[in-house]
Structure 1
Amino acid sequence: MPQLDTSTWLITILSMMITLFIIFQLKTLSHQFPANPQSSHLEQTKQKTPWEKKWTKIYSPLS
């Protein structure tokens, strides 16, 4: 039974990883990201929930 030749696996795996890295870099370069993400002010409206309106006591578990 012939043995499996694994001498080219290293070159194949390394070239595949380099190719995937280059493709990923090219994909991310095509996107336009905002220069300063904190500059946009989003108004967050806080909605009152029923449990915030009344006083509740939190009991600690018995030790």
Structure 2
Amino acid sequence: MPQLDTSTWFTVISSMMITLFIIFQLKILNHQILIKPQTTFLEQTKYNTPWEEKWTKTYLPLS
């Protein structure tokens, strides 16, 4: 039974890793990344509800 020749594996794996790295760099080169994104604050609308202005007493259940 013939032996598996592994002498070229290092070259193949190395070239594959370099190629993948270059392809990845070329892909992310097209994306624009915001350096300092600005946050926008939305104004919260306050709704007037009748129970906010009234004082109500909370009763505990009878024991």
- Please indicate, yes or no, whether the TM-score normalized by the shorter chain is above 0.5: yes
Aligned positions, number: 44
State the TM-score, normalizing by the size of structure 1.
Answer: 0.60
**RMSD of aligned alpha carbons:** 1.9
Distance 1:27 1:18, change over 3 A: same
Seq. identity, %: 63
Match for residue 61 of structure 1? Answer: none
Structure with bigger gyration radius = 2
Match for residue 6 of structure 2? Answer: 6
Long gaps (5+) in structure 1: 46-63
State the TM-score, normalizing by the size of structure 2.
Answer: 0.60
Q: Which amino acid aligns with 2:39?
A: S
| Aligned residue runs from structure 1 range 42-61, under 5 A | 42-43=41-42
SS in 2 for 1:27: helix
Aligned counterparts of 1:42 and 1:9: Cα–Cα separation in 2: 56
Long gaps (5+) in structure 2: 45-63
Q: Higher helix share goes to which structure?
A: 1
